Structure 1
């Protein structure tokens, strides 16, 4: 077990260090904006140029698969146990994209995507214990998502067409990278 943990820690350190550092939500530029409208616009407007690139999407899925089997723990944020939103936050941060901690706030970012247009790396939001998004998973293709499941007690892959997920599905979002120079006039 110790060997596995050591190997896992080395993999996370290597992948985190080698990922491009793309701060889209808490950048110095964003923090310099004074007007709430400019901040909201910075977070909401996407550049329609094919971003996220296939490499970012592939990285997100690869990082997510690397965390398979970690125990589910509500409120957990470590390799000893994590919940769904901590899992998503960790995976995206490994790819260099920084998201808020909870599913409810993660759901505020990105562009809505229909179920028919899902691509690997898209976020899937569900209602479980509340009306607002309270569960999140990462779409990996072929009708499957990877998520930290409280029912399965671990990070696992599930079919999104299962009755539970169909009944509780709220929406899907695709994260884009932002170019602050093109989406705000504030200097």
Structure 2
């Protein structure tokens, strides 16, 4: 029975991964990056005040998108999806990840799951024992992504991802024993993530659990 549930869990993760990885991208409040800055710049050029062209999709950018959508007869939801992006930018929206990134994310998840049960040790960076950032650093390095050593340093790499835009392979961060990013894990999909915990070693948990949900502070995409 235990073996059955393990297979069932892996299947859920795989289905979630495939559905998210195959979907085209969209941009909404909370997203950040160069493409958001390009959207803001185009909105301003068309007379819609998106605020500072800073690559941070905030409430003012949302209001500008909604105004643009209303004027173009589009659903006024403030989300720059396929139709809105095409009308605004004059080209198709880029997919959220290319095939090589999707392949790397799949490998990262498979590798991370293989380490379930490895014990926790503060300062641990090898499969003998991991701490949280040592675990993520080791797993990602296997796929050519070299992260800084500490969780708070890893929180500064890649690009910020809003909770609703999480994809498998993203880094998820929590404030636990210290202010700021003091714990990090790897998002698996289906609301679950894997990390090196002090109590159970490398284990799978849910982002919305009573413990982790209140401590979640953000996510970064490094693929």
TM norm. shorter chain > 0.5: yes
Gaps of 5+ in 1: 1-44, 177-187
- Helix, strand or coil at the partner of 1:53: helix
Aligned to 1:170: 217
Partner of 1:132: 180
SS at match of 2:140: helix
How far apart are 1:46 and its partner, in Å? 6.7
Give the unaligned 5+ runs of structure 2: 1-32, 36-93
CA distance in 2, matches of 1:149, 1:130: 15
Among 193, 206, 211, which residue is 1:159 paired with?
206
1:151 shift after superposition: 2.5
Q: Number of paired residues?
A: 132
Partner of 1:57: 105
Which residue of 48, 67, 70 maps to 2:115? 67
Which one of 100, 105, 115 corresponds to residue 163 of structure 2?
Answer: 115
TM-score normalised to the size of structure 1? 0.66
Check conservation: 2:192, 2:207, Cα contact below 8 A.
yes
Whole-Å separation in 2 of the counterparts to 1:87 and 1:122 = 14
Query: Of the two structures, which has the highest relative contact order with CA contacts closer than 8 Å and spacing of 6 or more?
Result: 1
In structure 2, relative to structure 1, the CA distance for the partners of 1:160 and 1:99 (3 Å cut) is same
Q: Paired residue for 1:143? A: 191
Q: Alpha-carbon deviations, 1:25-57, whole Å to 9, x = none? A: xxxxxxxxxxxxxxxxxxxx7797634621011
Q: What corresponds to 1:92 in structure 2?
A: 140
For the aligned residue pairs, the C-alpha RMSD in angstroms reads 1.9
CA offset digits 1:37-90 (Å, max 9, x no partner):
xxxxxxxx7797634621011011011111111001111112221100000000
Contact 2:170 2:220 in 1 (8 A): yes
